[in-house]
C-alpha cells in the first residue's frame, strides 16, 4: 500500500471510531457497541502493521540436535497393547481377521 492509501485507511478508521462513539452515547455501553469498538481497535492495529516496513523472517535453525530427535518406527504395534481397551463410542478393539 502506498502512504496515501494508508493515510486514507487511517482517516476512515477515525471516522468509524467517531461513529462508534456516537452509538455509545445513544445506546450506552451495551455488548454490541463494545464489539464494534473492539473491531475498530483491531482495524487500527492491522492498519498500523501495514504501515510498518515488512519484518525479516526469523532465521531458521541450522542443525537439529540429534539427541532430541525421537524416532517412531513404522512397524505395527504389538496387539497385546490393545487387549481389553475400548474405543470411546465404537466398542472394543477387534483385530482384523486375515
Asked if residue 98 has pLDDT above 70, the reply is no
20 occurs within a structural domain = yes
37 occurs within a structural domain = yes
Instruction: Give the three cell numbers for residue 31.
Output: 455488548
15 occurs within a structural domain = yes
Residue 39 has a pLDDT of 96
93 occurs within a structural domain = no
Cα–Cα distance, 22 to 74 (Å, whole number): 63
What pLDDT digit, counting tens, does each position of 63-94 carry? 666 777 888 888 888 888 877 776 666 655 56
Q: How many domains does the chain have?
A: 1
21 occurs within a structural domain = yes
pTM score: 0.53
Contact 36, 20 (CB under 8 A): yes
What pLDDT digit, counting tens, does each position of 35-66 carry? 999 999 999 999 988 877 666 666 666 566 67
| Enclosing domain of residue 9 | 3-51
Cα–Cα distance, 20 to 60 (Å, whole number): 44
Amino acid at each position: 500500500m502506498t502512504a496515501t492509501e494508508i493515510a486514507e485507511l487511517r482517516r476512515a478508521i477515525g471516522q468509524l471510531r467517531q461513529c462508534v462513539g456516537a452509538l455509545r452515547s445513544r445506546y450506552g455501553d451495551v455488548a454490541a457497541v463494545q464489539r464494534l469498538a473492539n473491531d475498530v481497535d483491531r482495524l487500527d492495529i492491522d492498519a498500523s502493521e501495514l504501515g510498518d516496513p515488512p519484518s525479516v523472517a526469523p532465521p531458521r535453525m541450522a542443525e537439529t540436535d540429534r539427541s532430541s530427535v525421537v524416532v517412531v518406527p513404522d512397524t505395527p504395534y504389538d496387539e497385546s497393547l490393545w487387549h481389553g481397551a475400548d474405543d470411546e463410542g465404537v466398542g472394543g478393539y477387534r483385530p482384523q481377521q486375515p
